[in-house]
Structure 1
């Protein structure tokens, strides 16, 4: 036994983005501080932000963050089912870190019995290895249309018989209706396993909130376990939603098109935190501003997002940008878009076919079913920074070839990686996470034209943020332990 009144504790939310991921991360950090061996777990995750694990698979980015909070290496068992949407109705289904199939929503619903077996298998392994597991739900348990065969929320909690904390975001408004309405949608047994509520992202005078908290406890018969403050300046990996950039704080402007199927936008967290960088995401219909550097991000549907770029006028803007000496970086799917063509003969990301690329790099890309997943390291080939070490990870299903590959961007584990244009203005790479490492980030920004003495260490910022959220969440853990000890 682990000395706690639970082996598995689940955190569910009244809505998406209620704060489940950060509460799980905080609980993992707190239990680690208290000497517990603890692991995070999310049965099913739908996200385009993923991380590569040491065992050669991929999981949701949030579970990698939670593993860091627990002080352990991320593993595919921490997120056994990952869904990566490629359209509004279809997704790539990843089981235990590996692509299993592409399915539409109805086909996946039928597949959930198979997925549940994978979920329970992973959960049992984590309990056996660590003794304590903190679980993150997905979305809300009150989605009536998804209750049948549910593996992500109460369906899982009922299967393993674990207590549940319900988190609600007061910053959205309507927090009491969210909580009471969620309870009304649950069965009697599901309501009984909720040990209490956490109110998240509160700002203001807590005295003004107290009458509402008293009403909620009387109405539901369940305790408010804690009220967490709105913490500014947090540097934590977002699970899926693109965080707003801090516009206007730096003189060096970096512009990123907010692609409909953009993946791994955590690539830009270091730039968001850099004091000399003004990072801007440009969404549909918005005017494309002037920039020092334009970065085309990763994509889960490269040809579809390439068509979107054309519809939004990006080719003309890129040509104008380069004509006046600007620099362009393409990452993964963005790298593929920079070439002459992108072919998908097997229909890996959508309808089979081929699309002309932007023609800024002399390469061609063909998508294939086999996905490359790897944690890698190497060095830069940029003229003034050949000794700069780089680290990152690869998650892609394409193979690119062409003359531009003879001018690599990096040398990774003895092989050339990426490409550069003959005039030195365009760079493409398959490596995600490059900006996370201070020296590599500084080298890429120097190449793009920024001379700065500032280095951004995202790992240190992440650790500081995890400690901050853990500090304010400690009373919640104490209250949970007290409530469960009395039950």
Structure 2
């Protein structure tokens, strides 16, 4: 079996997207390919068919590889919480918490389980494409590492280093990585590639040669800026740091950026709508009074993020928005915030206690130690949708008697006859008496064009009718085609041990 690991010179250099593109390119060549990330740290997660959690980047990569999600694709997932701790997910299930002080000690024993997952994937495919985390140049984190060189050396997987030229300093970033890492780690790196190049590649020829000469590693190509990548979901919240642009007659959807915002790719389908201006509101900025819809997003630490929302004065903005007769949508943690109260009797998110919510929905939430994890499908506002639940807590009250949706468990392939609809089995969410405020526990519900069109109709615009999932799939094809044109895919496959396929 064959494997190749892509590490980066830093965070957000494009590792997740590059692995996704390589997955699609390899799949297009007829290879059975599976993605893998030993350890991920993200509050953006996906639910596998068996009800486990993995990072959403691995979900995108699985889509690129045209394979179902599996918990082995991301055996260790850390979800940062409010008190310098992270929820620890191992093989898809919550195992406890890790604090900043004991992070190194706690992760070391996880390496055998990481390797078990990798070997299981390796046995089921022609090629495993592995994504690193952060950078191997973070030598202060090297001891006990299971995400980069610690894994690569234990598994014997060759490494290619990716650098982002768009941020500048790519020569120093790659050569500097070679300079600071241990010789044994450097021996695992067999080459580099350059990502996000704008302009004429000939202008970088001298720099490319300098990297090869000073690092001793061979280059596998320079990938230009691929416009379609903007249509792919991102796992890194750094992309949210963008404020209000020109509206040009569009409806305005505003979403505050909470410190522990989770699964923010729920809003990607709105970002792609030509009639919508999606404004992610950073701290220190009021929610615009002219917003047509305010979305309160998912959160990994609902009570702490609700306190932050109040400290920013966003609660005043949301209440004023509602008094102006404008719509509010809460998703998962945002749904919990809209209610009368949130109780945490077991101290799941911190000290046990209860806090008042925004009071826009007549419901109350009690957090518990059972985590709801499942893929779902259902109907809302007369339209079908699919999505997933990922939350801790039960929400009940008078407005829940006006549910947002009716849900059935998403069936397995043989659980229901083809071309038949699911039978409604249970309600989800709540709606205010006047219909302006809605909450739901369902993530991913706006990917289907029908429900998204219903939402946009309510705020005064029309949808383009595009299927968001189909748009993402087309973007993956465009990315893979660009990588085939500009990177040495044959060389990368040969390094992985597969040989060239085409």
1:237 to 222, 233, 236: 233
Aligned residue number for residue 343 of structure 1: 343
Write the mapping of 1:182-221 to structure 2, written as runs, cut at 5 A.
182-221=177-216
Q: How big is each residue's C-alpha offset from its partner over 1:22-68, in whole Å with a ceiling of 9 and x where there is no partner?
A: 11111111111111111000000000110000121010000000001
Partner Cα distance (2:344, 2:165) in 1: 45
Q: 1:68 to 1:312 in 2, by over 3 A?
A: same
Aligned residue number for residue 139 of structure 2: 144
Q: Displacement, 1:400?
A: 0.6
Q: Displacement, 1:469?
A: 1.4
Between 108-117 and 21-30, report the one with greater CA deviation: 108-117
Aligned residue number for residue 439 of structure 1: 450
Q: How big is each residue's C-alpha offset from its partner over 1:319-338, in whole Å with a ceiling of 9 and x where there is no partner?
A: 22122210000000000000
- Structure 1 residue 167 and structure 2 residue 162: aligned? yes
1:73 to 62, 68, 73: 68
Q: 1:111 to 1:456 in 2, by over 3 A?
A: same
Q: Displacement, 1:350?
A: 2.1
- Structure 1 residue 455 and structure 2 residue 465: aligned? yes
Aligned residue number for residue 257 of structure 2: 258
2:437 to 404, 426, 430: 426
8 Å CA contact retained: 1:48, 1:240 = no
Partner Cα distance (2:298, 2:352) in 1: 20
Partner Cα distance (2:12, 2:314) in 1: 31
Partner Cα distance (1:484, 1:270) in 2: 35
8 Å CA contact retained: 1:374, 1:395 = yes
Q: SS state of the match for residue 11, structure 2?
A: coil
Q: Displacement, 1:218?
A: 1.3
Partner Cα distance (1:481, 1:316) in 2: 55
Partner Cα distance (2:23, 2:443) in 1: 26
Between 246-255 and 81-90, report the one with greater CA deviation: 246-255
- Structure 1 residue 111 and structure 2 residue 110: aligned? no
Q: SS state of the match for residue 117, structure 2?
A: helix
Q: 1:344 to 1:453 in 2, by over 3 A?
A: closer
Partner Cα distance (2:433, 2:232) in 1: 37
Q: 1:453 to 1:201 in 2, by over 3 A?
A: closer
Q: SS state of the match for residue 165, structure 1?
A: strand
Aligned residue number for residue 391 of structure 2: 396
1:129 to 124, 131, 136: 124
Write the mapping of 1:266-277 to structure 2, written as runs, cut at 5 A.
266-277=265-276
Q: Displacement, 1:232?
A: 2.1
Partner Cα distance (1:216, 1:320) in 2: 56
Partner Cα distance (2:159, 2:37) in 1: 13
Q: SS state of the match for residue 239, structure 2?
A: coil
- Structure 1 residue 227 and structure 2 residue 222: aligned? yes
Let me know the Cα RMSD of the aligned residues.
1.6
Q: 1:453 to 1:297 in 2, by over 3 A?
A: closer
8 Å CA contact retained: 2:82, 2:304 = no
Q: Displacement, 1:315?
A: 2.1
1:476 to 462, 469, 488: 488
Q: Displacement, 1:483?
A: 5.8
Partner Cα distance (1:135, 1:147) in 2: 18
8 Å CA contact retained: 2:47, 2:390 = yes
- Structure 1 residue 358 and structure 2 residue 367: aligned? no
Unaligned 5+ runs, structure 2: 409-424
8 Å CA contact retained: 1:18, 1:169 = yes
Q: Displacement, 1:247?
A: 3.3
Aligned residue number for residue 413 of structure 2: none
Aligned residue number for residue 307 of structure 1: 307
Partner Cα distance (1:77, 1:50) in 2: 14
Q: Displacement, 1:233?
A: 4.1
Q: How big is each residue's C-alpha offset from its partner over 1:61-113, in whole Å with a ceiling of 9 and x where there is no partner?
A: 00000001111001100000000000362100000000000120233321223
Q: Displacement, 1:453?
A: 4.8
Partner Cα distance (1:233, 1:27) in 2: 15
TM-score (norm 1): 0.95
- Structure 1 residue 369 and structure 2 residue 369: aligned? yes
Aligned residue number for residue 246 of structure 2: 248
Partner Cα distance (1:481, 1:112) in 2: 31
Q: SS state of the match for residue 237, structure 2?
A: coil
Q: SS state of the match for residue 442, structure 2?
A: coil
Unaligned 5+ runs, structure 1: 2-6
Aligned residue number for residue 4 of structure 1: none
Aligned residue number for residue 283 of structure 2: 284
Aligned residue number for residue 86 of structure 1: 81
8 Å CA contact retained: 1:86, 1:350 = no
Q: Displacement, 1:415?
A: 0.7
Q: SS state of the match for residue 78, structure 2?
A: strand
Aligned residue number for residue 464 of structure 1: 474
Partner Cα distance (1:456, 1:310) in 2: 36
8 Å CA contact retained: 2:368, 2:393 = yes
Q: Displacement, 1:423?
A: 1.3
Q: Displacement, 1:451?
A: 3.5
8 Å CA contact retained: 2:4, 2:495 = no
Q: How big is each residue's C-alpha offset from its partner over 1:451-479, in whole Å with a ceiling of 9 and x where there is no partner?
A: 41521321111111111111122233223
Between 313-322 and 391-400, report the one with greater CA deviation: 313-322
